[in-house]
Structure 1
Amino acid sequence: MNSASEFSELMNALPIDRRRNLPIPAVTARHPDGEPDFSTVDGREAFRLASEGRCGICARPFDGEVAFLGSPGALAARAYHDPPMHESCAEASTRLCPHIARRDMRRLTDRRSTGELPAGSSPEKPDRWVMWICRGFGGAVVNAIPVFLPAPYTRLRTFTYTADGQIRETFDTTPGGTG
């Protein structure tokens, strides 16, 4: 299904979900039975890793720039619910996360592990994803949910869907651009 080349090299040590053949990101919430809930971020773990200067995907330390992956709304607000990542882990997520990689893939709505969507989040899937790459970030907890506040970006990368619904990078670096 997924080849090792699709993973970020940093993700090689992550446990693999045998049912989906996908690496389990460090901040993936768990159902009460221990099964990974890929639709929900474990906020406590995300905040802990971020406060230690570690990636929310592979849990390894940052060595410079950090990346945030989110919707144009997250870009406009300069606030992300998903934790900071290595750029290579964020890029691998665009290929490996079914919700991001395929336009027609919808996120589960039962959210059995931790409850509900963070305030300000939309259950609607964006038409593009923007990777904000910067040299630092802050954080806050709003309504018991971590919010990550990136430093000014050094680069933006934009990913949109092709006519057949697959994600691709558009190389558009303007915040409101469509590629």
Structure 2
Amino acid sequence: MGAAAIPPSLAARPHDDRRGLPIPPVNVHPDPSGGGSHVDFTTINTTVATRLAAERRCSLCDEPMGYWVAFLGGPRAAALMRYADPPGHPECMTAALSLCPYVAIGRHRRARADRPGAGIIPPGSHGDKPDRWLLGITRAYRTRFIAEHGFTTYLPAPFRTVHTYVYGTDGRLQPSTDSR
């Protein structure tokens, strides 16, 4: 797929020293010891994500979203119109397709659940990596907080545009011809 242009708002974020990646606000977590914060790319800070979505701010760059917003997920999320990950600018979500190793590389897997920092699988998720990713663009969405799980789901309005990405023979994500 090649590296997508990184939008200026995403490029301006603090960067992870080891990976050189911009750090989305939803991946910054309070330090359990009470001193500061730490970055965990494998989990979403639900409190931050829910606040950003309520304020209509991008989950990746923390800037206000304009008319269009994007959701990234697998075919099941798109079919159910129910996402575990919050929305962002279409440009930021497009950049995430090549920046996020879990999404960009077919063989990349999440850390085992027994490893520190491995994250949690949201309630109702099967935890399997999709064979394709869909980037849906819409104008509106709702959020639903599921109190018994301490988890928020994001419910987009019908998509105006859907871009599909599949893994090529090299194992890298690339645009598919079945976008609409």
Does 2:27 match 1:21? no
Partner of 2:142: 138
Does 2:106 match 1:100? no
Question: Structure 1: which 5+ residue stretches go unaligned?
Answer: 175-179
Higher strand share: 1
Q: For the residues of structure 2 that align with 1:24 and 1:144, how far apart are their CA atoms?
A: 23
Partner of 2:164: 158
Partner of 2:129: 125
Q: For the residues of structure 2 that align with 1:12 and 1:52, how far apart are their CA atoms?
A: 21
Report if the CA contact (8 A) 2:111-2:118 is conserved: no
TM-score (norm 1): 0.88
Partner of 1:58: 61
Q: For the residues of structure 2 that align with 1:100 and 1:112, how far apart are their CA atoms?
A: 21
Q: For the residues of structure 2 that align with 1:73 and 1:140, how far apart are their CA atoms?
A: 18
TM-score (norm 2): 0.88
- Farther off after superposition, 25-34 or 37-46: 25-34
- Farther off after superposition, 135-144 or 24-33: 24-33
Partner of 1:80: 83
Name the aligned partner's letter for residue 26 of structure 2. Answer: V
Deviation of the 1:6 alpha carbon: 4.0
Percentage of identical aligned residues: 38
Q: For the residues of structure 2 that align with 1:109 and 1:29, how far apart are their CA atoms?
A: 20
Q: Structure 1 pair 9/141, CA: closer, same or farther in 2 (3 Å)? A: same
Q: For the residues of structure 2 that align with 1:114 and 1:99, how far apart are their CA atoms?
A: 13
Deviation of the 1:113 alpha carbon: 5.3
Q: For the residues of structure 1 that align with 2:167 and 2:119, how far apart are their CA atoms?
A: 29
Question: Structure 2: which 5+ residue stretches go unaligned?
Answer: none
Does 2:97 match 1:91? no
